[in-house]
Structure 1
Amino acid sequence: MKNNIGSPLKKAFIGSMIFLVSGTFLPLSTNAQTITPAKIDALKTELMGEIDKQQKMTQEMVDMVFSFGELGFQEVETSKYLTGILKENGFTIEQGISGIPTAWTAKWGSGKPVIAIGSDIDCIPKASQKPGVAYHDPIIEGAPGHGEGHNSGAPLNIVAMLALKKIMQREKLSGTLVLWPGVAEEQLATKAYYVRDGYFKNVDACIFTHVSNNLSTGYGPIGTSGMISVKFNFEGEAAHAAAAPWKGRSALDAVELMNVSWNMHREHMLTSQRSHYVIVDGGDQPNVVPSKASVWYYFREQDYPLVMKMYKDGIKMAEAAASMTDTKMTYEVLGSAWPGYMNQPIAETMYENIKQVGLPTWSEADKTLALATQIELNPNAPDLQKGLATTLSPIGKAVPGASFSGGGSDDIGDISWNVPTIVLGYPANISGLKGHDWASAIAMATPIAHKGVTAGAKAEALTVLDMLVKPEILKEAWKYFNDVQTKDVKYTPMISKTDKPAVSLNKKIMNEYRPEMTKFYYNPAKYKTYLEQLGIKYPTVRPASNK
């Protein structure tokens, strides 16, 4: 097993731990003995002030990562940039974790508790978009872009932890901070490997940040689907499609038969399922019977058994399609995700800090951009034209008896079933958008994103401070994890011990677009903001006559 986030500390601190009946080790805090509630309040005020002082750094990091716009597994410039900042600030970097070139950990501190802090860093295909422009206007037509807002979470974590590090050093607080990136989250392709390879063993808690349109958190089942990503490869025999088609065996026919079978199968599946596919190889040209073809499926359901049933059904249909076309079939798992389940004690701690931080103060320019974008995307839906959030969302929690209607997935779910975890949503984007497209990139290198990241950094830093100085939080977190979350459900990985991350994904696309994209990388030494570099007036909205 490879090195893990917490393992270097295990022997050194075994004597300062208590052992719970459940079998979970937790640290005895020495921090709490000398820090009074009044002192904690003062430290929190100082933390928020320190994060406010770093707003320029926040803006530069958010804008820089936005300008890189790198797809999953190809986040080369992004990882180089972020780890460079962390290394300069005293963090120890481990590169290439789980055999993934763009994955890493950054550690600082010593002793317990060990707190893991993560966020995704990849972007969306064909989502290139000029920030601050409330209609479709790509920087480079067809290029990738941050149409999910993943350019903002890692900068948030860095700003929050650098502010906390300063206080930990001065106050001599015990604890280890570990930052890590969600590589290729859009393919759900790495976090299960981090877990399998031991990088979350001996971690006491994990906070994961994700862009949102409000400052929020929640606990229990969070409504994300479990998922497994599988590519089915068929191999037949080429032939002249006009002169001698009878000599060929079409791999594309097998792909099409599998897809027809699956689409027929949908009629008899639970409404909570979500399944979708793309044909990634359909042959070379029409006059050649395709000797090779591939189709890539996402199978999603509400729990592990149902996901695995879909997976097995897919294999059966692929085998049948191969039999009907006299072709050969192989398949490979490209990614997976358990449905997320978040920790109540940590979420409740976070929510108290969210209430203390509050939402950003939006300028008239911010409000204009948000409303114009919502009108552009939803011209006939006034209920979606609400502008930016002005009141906090209530803490999220599962509604007893509510039915699961299906939805998106995130491989933070795998981590959440191995260590107490929460997700912090922060208000860096605009509500009412589709997601996973150019429109969701509009706000992501503007003051909306910068302010939202600052608010999120404050909430995160305050919560990690609480976990460092209040040992009862982690004690209750593990009690909830053992006695509630995992009482009846145990984690079983969807990937095998021999599966490997699909690190070649998206390489061809990035090789095509990167040479042109490099011309638009942000230069903070020359321009105050990325908006200034691109010559964008903030906000730019569609003229009334063109609406």
Structure 2
Amino acid sequence: MQLKVTLTKVFIVCFLLLQSNLLAQRNFDDDQIESMKARVSEIVIENKKLSQVMVDKIFSFSELGFHENESSNYLTGILEKNGFKIERGLSGIPTAWIAKWSKGNGPVIALGSDVDCIPKASQYPGVAYHKPIVEGAPGHGEGHNAGIPLNITAALAVQQVMKENDLEGTLILWPGIAEELVASKAWFVRDGLFKGIDACIFTHVSSNMGVSWGASSGTGLISVEFTFEGDAAHAAGAPWRGKSAADATELMNIGWNYKREHLDPLKRSHSIISDGGDQPNVVPSKSSIWYYFRDITYEGIMEMFETSKDIAKGAALMTGTKMSYKILGTAWPRHFNKSIAETMHKNIEVVGLPDWSEKDQILAKAVQKELGNKSLDGLANELRPLGLPVERPVSGGSDDIGDVSWTIPTVTLRFPSNIPGLPGHHWSNAIAMATPIAHKGVTAGAQVE
């Protein structure tokens, strides 16, 4: 990618906006400020090899939520070598951490992204068909291996410019641990992790570059596991002496599926049986079913949750079992900051999309063809417009960055490190994530950030 010397970085803009009085006293003129912005961009380009190595390293670890041990050790090691102080074990989560570097007073800006991967999504990068590295193993089928490397690239560039120009402020980096389980950010908010932070820039992989403000498409959710406990018995010798917890799980699932027919189309729910018993000749004494309940409003989410509890109670009554439940994760619907989003979109327009090579496009089109996509257009060549508040609610996925967005001014930068038209949470979404497609998207995203 060619360097755009007129680049405006949101990160620098946050510092300049929040330090306007300080800068005025020190008489920084427009040319000096533009020079600092250009310098940040130059450093990002100079560090593109580091970005590539970080992206590929995290891809190779491919760790599930709450197991991001190697990923966290590697990333915090890089930050420590660059003067960041690390606090580990946040909110009682062993793999959670926060990295902080301060230089005097000034604005406090946080950069966040996720780092966990998807079950059974192992995939050789750059191979345009299903070829697991390890059959049945986890893999980065959501592309979470790219976000923290992007943030580190941007932070190290800003850190260097702050030192060179005696700018004051604090840089904070943090990972969204177990995002696929929506199981950390709400607890970070609860425990005050974001107190004293002026703004948060979050990053997430995409197939294009974009940012939005206001109410976002998608949903919030609650993740809850219902457990039934009965009595074991020999399934052939004395089944009448047993009380099947698995029967209760099945009955709850049947009851909820009948209810789903009558849910508003904006609501979503899905489940797995996380414990269906031990073996067929033993009446299951314990069984569990795990649900995600999603809606576009908090009230709608909680309405589904209350209904599900009633259905679970009914299943327990029908089977003579005991019912309990445990909340495993939660996420509020997202709402993003207008001022940061508008400034960031100007950066996006300056940076543009990466210069995709012919080989990049061949790989992208081959993957699209392999999946049977109707469109074989390859990688994105046109930027998205600035995302505006949705006029009509649109259902879909959830992200617990929503909890942060209601706490401090927040935006999510979506950066172009993947192939358009893929199903998501799938082995095919891992194909590009340790190739030049991912590397170029991370460098472009770091310039924008």
1:389 to 374, 377, 380: 380
Does residue 30 in structure 1 map to residue 22 in structure 2? yes
- C-alpha change, 1:284 and 1:167, in structure 2 (3 Å) is same
Deviations 1:404-423 (A, max 9, x none): 24100000000000001000
Q: Which residue of 2 aligns with 1:482?
A: none
Q: After superposition, give the CA deviation of every residue in 1:345-396 in whole Å (9 maximum; x if it has no partner).
A: 00001011111111110111101001111111125x1xx3211111111011
Of 77, 81, 98, the match for 1:84: 77
Task: Show the counterpart of 1:106.
Answer: 99
Kept after mapping to 1: 8 A contact 2:215/2:390: no
Please state how far the C-alpha of 1:35 moved relative to its aligned partner: 2.3
After superposing on structure 2, the runs of 4+ consecutive aligned residues of structure 1 that deviate more than 3 Å are: 26-29
Task: Report the Cα offset of residue 37 of structure 1.
Answer: 2.0
Q: 1 CA distance for matches of 2:390 and 2:306?
A: 31
* Separation of aligned partners in 2, 1:156 and 1:224: 24
SS in 2 for 1:210: strand
1:40 deviation in Å?
Answer: 1.7
Q: Does 1:407 align with 2:396?
A: yes
| Correspondence for 1:93 | 86
The match for 1:339 is 333
Aligned position for 2:423: 434
* Range that drifts further, 238-247 or 384-393: 384-393
Amino acid at match of 1:248: G
**CA deviation vs aligned residue, 1:289-347 (integer Å, no higher than 9, x gap):** 00000000000000100001111111111111111111011101000000111111000
1:329 corresponds to? 323
CA distance in 1, matches of 2:259, 2:275: 23
- AA partner of residue 75 (structure 1): E
The answer on whether the counterparts of 2:218 and 2:394 sit within 8 Å (CA) in structure 1 is: no
Change (3 A) 1:32 1:385: farther
Within the alignment, does 1:448 sit opposite 2:448 as a pair?
A: no
Q: 1:29 offset after TM fit, Å? A: 4.1
Q: Does 1:152 align with 2:136?
A: no
Q: SS of the residue aligned with 2:328?
A: strand
Q: Is the 8 A contact 1:371 1:387 kept in 2?
A: yes
Partners of 1:59 and 1:31 in 2: CA distance: 35
Deviations along 1:225-261, one digit per CA (max 9) or x if unpaired, are 0100001011000000111110000000110111011
Aligned residue for 1:459?
Answer: 448
Q: Which residue of 2 aligns with 1:45?
A: 38
Q: Compute the displacement of 1:28 (Å).
A: 6.7
Kept after mapping to 2: 8 A contact 1:378/1:385: no
**Amino acid across the alignment from 1:236:** G
Instruction: State the match for 2:268 in structure 1.
Output: 274
Tell me the distance in 2 between the aligned counterparts of 1:57 and 1:405.
38
1-structure distance, mates of 2:19, 2:221: 34
Match of 1:192 in 2: 186
Q: Is the 8 A contact 1:30 1:174 kept in 2?
A: no
Aligned residue in 2 for 1:357: 351
> What amino acid sits opposite 2:23 in the alignment?
N
> Do 1:271 and 1:405's aligned partners in 2 also have CA atoms closer than 8 Å?
no
Distance verdict in 2 for CA 1:106–1:385, change over 3 Å: same
User: Where do 1:2-81 residues align within 5 Å?
Assistant: 29-33=21-25, 34-81=27-74
- Superposition pairs for residues 211-290 of structure 1, below 5 Å? 211-290=205-284
CA RMSD of aligned residues (A): 1.1
CA separation in 1, counterparts of 2:132 and 2:24?
52
Of 391-400 and 416-425, more deviation after overlay is shown by 391-400
Per-residue deviation, 1:32: 4.6
The reply on whether 1:209 has 2:166 as its aligned counterpart is no
Aligned-pair distance for 1:83? 0.2
Q: Where does residue 6 of structure 2 map in the other structure? A: none
What SS class does the counterpart of residue 102 from structure 1 fall into? coil
2:253 alignment partner, SS class: helix
For normalisation by structure 1, the TM-score amounts to 0.78
User: Is 2:414 the partner of 1:425?
Assistant: yes
Q: For residues 431-458 of structure 1, give each alpha carbon's deviation from its aligned partner in whole angstroms, at most 9, with x where no partner exists.
A: 0000001000000000000000000001
- Percentage of identical aligned residues: 59
Q: 1:308 to 1:432 in 2, by over 3 A?
A: same
> Offset of 1:399 from its aligned partner?
3.8
Q: Are residues 140 and 291 of structure 1, via their aligned partners in 2, closer, same or farther at CA, if it must alter by over 3 Å?
A: same
**Unpaired stretches in structure 2, ≥5 consecutive residues:** 1-17
- CA drift at 1:112: 2.7
Letter in 2 for 1:416: S
Match of 2:360 among 358, 366, 372: 366
What is the SS of the residue equivalent to 1:123? coil
Closer/same/farther in 2, CA of residues 333 and 32 from structure 1, 3 Å limit? farther
Distance 1:399 1:181, change over 3 A: closer
Instruction: State whether structure 2 residue 115 is matched by structure 1 residue 121.
Output: yes
The runs of 5 or more residues in structure 1 that have no matched partner are 1-25, 461-547
Aligned partner of residue 438 in structure 2, secondary structure: helix
What count of residue pairs does the alignment treat as equivalent?
A: 430
